[in-house]
Structure 1
């Protein structure tokens, strides 16, 4: 009896779409932290950059969610990345609302949580499915 999985794993383009979108999203999140730090130190012009980068980063997260769904269906991969992507969408939507409302007591720690979760998710995309890519 063969010990191999009878179902093929996710196709390489699905894995790569998830890796690329997760990596670009993580880079955007890192840029958000850098821009916020520079804004807080007195460069008020960077608040506009922070806002604009946040919009782009949030948009990339929706692409990451689509890639996560494709990994699950039709890719026959795990479903938890789609749920994690949806969770990040919810968290980042709250992040945008808190930032626009200037509720910094929630905006700052939520940004740190989003960075940590995004970093773990991105690392997982590069460590998992090594043969599929």
Structure 2
């Protein structure tokens, strides 16, 4: 009887979660991306408060810009963990790197007062981060990246 226990196959994966796919690393990325998205979505709200006459909101908008960039750096680390040890797809790390670059330009344009670049780039950053978060909560994010077949190069 004990040999039957040892020979038993592993537990099947729950429905919708493929065996060997990213789990803990995906939840880490989801959490960090949600925090980042909250900070990013807060930026136009703070700008609107400033434009409505509460001029002290500009200092909060500036402080939040630093937090947005910090959250993006943490998100990039979480995306790398999702990709390599977690065997997740690689494009979220690439998108996060592009967001980091865009947020740096965004911050510089804001301090320089170049609103013709600052406003549309802000819209692009918010849209990109929100779309990324939505994808992270869809089933496709749970699927592991495909492995090369025998005889193919990695």
> Scaled by the length of structure 2, what TM-score is found?
0.77
Distance 1:98 1:104 in 2: 7
What does 1:86-101 correspond to in 2, within 5 Å? 86-101=97-112
Distance 1:89 1:131 in 2: 25
Determine whether 1:45 maps to 2:56.
Answer: yes
> Scaled by the length of structure 1, what TM-score is found?
0.88
- 8 Å Cα contact 2:26-2:142 kept in structure 1: no
- Mark the structure with the bigger radius of gyration: 2
Distance 2:142 2:78 in 1: 17
Note the residue ranges of structure 1 that are not aligned, 5 or more in a row.
1-5
SS in 2 for 1:17: helix
Q: Which has the higher helix share?
A: 1
Distance 1:130 1:73 in 2: 14
Structure-2 residue corresponding to 1:13: 24
Distance 2:101 2:142 in 1: 29
Residue correspondences, number: 127
Distance 1:109 1:131 in 2: 33
- 8 Å Cα contact 2:88-2:142 kept in structure 1: no
Determine whether 1:105 maps to 2:134.
Answer: no
* CA-atom RMSD in angstroms: 2.0
